[in-house]
Amino acid sequence: MSINDTSTGEMSSGHDAGSTVLALEAAERQAPADPAIQQSLSIAYASCGDHLKAAAARIASLALTERAPLSLYNLATAYMMKGQLAEAEKWFRVALLLDPDLPLAHQNLASILRENGDIAGAAEHLKRAYTKQAVFVEPARTPVARVLLTCAAGIGNVPVTHLLPQDRFTQVRCFVEYIGDEDLAALPDYDLIFNAIGDPDIVSDDDTRLHAVLMHKDRPLLNGPDRVAANRRDRLPSLLAGIDNVVVPAVQRIELRQRGAHALADEIDAGGLAYPLVLRPSASHGGEGVLLATGREIVEASPLGSVDAAYATAFHDYRAADGHFRKYRMIFVDREPFPYHLALSKHWLVHYFSASMRDAPWKRDEERHFLEDPATVLGPSALEAIRVIGRRLDLDYGGIDFSLLPDGRVLVFEANATMLVHPEPEGSELAHKNVQVRAIVAAFERMLVARLPRA
């Protein structure tokens, strides 16, 4: 059956329609920018009952006919927001066939590639995105303030989408690795600077380009790079030393430079930390690459030998009497703590997204109690310890992940500026979190307004 045969009439059977889809998808892989193939696919998908793909193919056919890369970008973004990354990647690549210099398509494609483990591919697309354009302006409809955001091209930025609502804050995003002197001279006016490079493994206090941006105009600076850098994992034990009722596990940073797993094990032995140890690559988030090593043999069999730098952290068994591990998160706004979430899991590596919080009403009830009354849940001494930690971190925005040991002391996992805050859909199982989300966002806005330069 030819492509043209599918342009009129219905498929004769489900079997024929399925075969036609497979043939057309093979043709699409050979000619991804052919509008006729997309038009035929729209008919074939509809005949198979896949009306979503049929609609996408119709949109793509029109966009390809009109040579409209932004329409394809929007299609790809819709798939990306639904978590359908393979379809999103396909359409971002087609958009770039029409416009090889489309920065947003390169940015989002880089995110997908990084998610899939293609770090080199992601870096190449980021370079192509920001070499052409290093400054992006998102104007607010009714601006309260204009905020310059200094950003890293890859990972490690503070998630500000919900902290800076687009209707109230004009955002001037500046990707410092790629900004040139002409870009710097042409920066639009701004009222405040928020250093969004929040990962202590990414930020550098001696970054000349970053400092050139920060010193471009005399404006109030929030989350300066020196403060962010001070919160690196291996620096936390000394930074938080001497705070009552706080346990900060010993941490060793290993500059491995891809020397292999045996070298990693040797460095751990030389450092003197006793097993079990939590190992992770530097600049990693969401549990990526994390493992619990009970002995040298685990380290030698791990894939961490290929990383540039790694952390070894002394493991503390924080399992509660009911068999669950609890991880609390509090957010610091202007050094004051706000409860954000509590995750409970049977596994020692606790993450909210994998802790089945949606499926367990008793877990959500316990989380709700923490959000509504952290002083009772944590106890006055632990809550005071958290407040002191907030002042020691000295970040304008940041957060801490921690647990409570059986004796009531705070066990610190990490504390830095990259903590995500986002609302949950109203009416959903997790909507109880939104009261605290709104409180955090409101406190963040009050802080920004209070820091605005006075005329």
Write out the H or E segment, with its range, that includes residue 291.
Answer: strand 291-293
Least Cα distance to 225 among 213, 243, 237 occurs for 213
Helix axes of 69-81 and 51-66: crossing angle, nearest 10 degrees: 150
Helix (H, G, I), strand (E, B) or coil at 161: coil
How far apart are alpha carbons 105 and 228 in whole angstroms? 30
Q: Tell me, what's the pLDDT at 156?
A: 87
Least Cα distance to 63 among 6, 105, 20 occurs for 105
Helix (H, G, I), strand (E, B) or coil at 136: strand
DSSP at 157:
B
Helix axes of 35-47 and 51-66: crossing angle, nearest 10 degrees: 170
Q: Tell me, what's the pLDDT at 311?
A: 96
Cis before 276? omega within 30: yes
Averaged pLDDT, 433-438: 97
- Mean pLDDT value across the chain: 92
Please write the tens of the pLDDT for every residue from 317-346.
Answer: 999 999 999 999 999 999 999 999 999 999
Q: Tell me, what's the pLDDT at 429?
A: 94
Block residue for tokens 């000394």: 238
pLDDT at 116 over 80: yes
Block residue for tokens 């200094």: 150
Please write the tens of the pLDDT for every residue from 230-278.
Answer: 999 999 999 999 999 999 999 999 999 889 999 999 999 999 999 999 9
How far, in Å, are 13, 133, 272, 334 from residue 72 at the CA level?
A: 31, 20, 55, 41
The model's pTM: 0.83
How far apart are alpha carbons 442 and 200 in whole angstroms? 26
Map out the domains of the chain with their CATH numbers: 3-130 (1.25.40.10), 134-229 (no CATH), 250-314 (3.30.1490.20), 325-451 (3.30.470.20)
Please write the tens of the pLDDT for every residue from 179-214.
Answer: 989 899 999 999 999 999 999 999 887 788 899 999
Please write the tens of the pLDDT for every residue from 372-392.
Answer: 999 999 999 999 999 999 999
How far, in Å, are 196, 233, 342, 382, 410 from residue 400 at the CA level?
A: 17, 12, 12, 13, 11
Range scoring the smallest mean pLDDT among 1-5, 56-60, 62-66, 171-175: 1-5
Q: Report the DSSP pairing between strands 192-195 and 145-151.
A: parallel
Across-strand partners of 193? 148, 221
Helix axes of 69-81 and 85-98: crossing angle, nearest 10 degrees: 170
